[in-house]
Amino acid sequence: MSEIVRIGRSERTSSEILSDLDAGRRVIIEVELLGRTMELSIRKRESTYYCDTPMKLMTYENREGMRTCLERYRLAKRGGRGS
């Protein structure tokens, strides 16, 4: 089983989250929505990135697709497009 990293929304940059995924870790991001806390599971298997929400599973075929998701939904802290 992979190591799990738990973070709050916007605690890490998209580059930091992607580095965790590329190292084989699963990242759980806690998000508050409508007064409830939900967990989003971000993971990578082989070359596919996954963002599993309570409502939908989103898949991305490359690193840039996952980065766009993290930034679009403001799951990652601003900045940090370095890697």
- For residue 25, what pLDDT is reported? 97
* SS3 state at 24: coil
Measured CA to CA, the distance from residue 71 to residue 79 in angstroms comes to 9
Report yes or no: 21 and 49 within 8 Å, Cβ to Cβ.
yes
- For residue 34, what pLDDT is reported? 86
Condensed to tens digits (0 to 9), the pLDDT of residues 30-49 reads: 999 889 999 999 999 999 99
Measured CA to CA, the distance from residue 65 to residue 36 in angstroms comes to 27
Q: State which residues of the chain have pLDDT below 70.
A: 1, 79-83
Any alpha helices (H) in the chain, and if so which ranges? Answer: 14-22, 63-72
Domain boundaries, the chain: 4-72
**What are the φ/ψ torsions at residue 73 (nearest 5 degrees)?**
-90, 10
Measured CA to CA, the distance from residue 40 to residue 42 in angstroms comes to 6
- For residue 54, what pLDDT is reported? 85
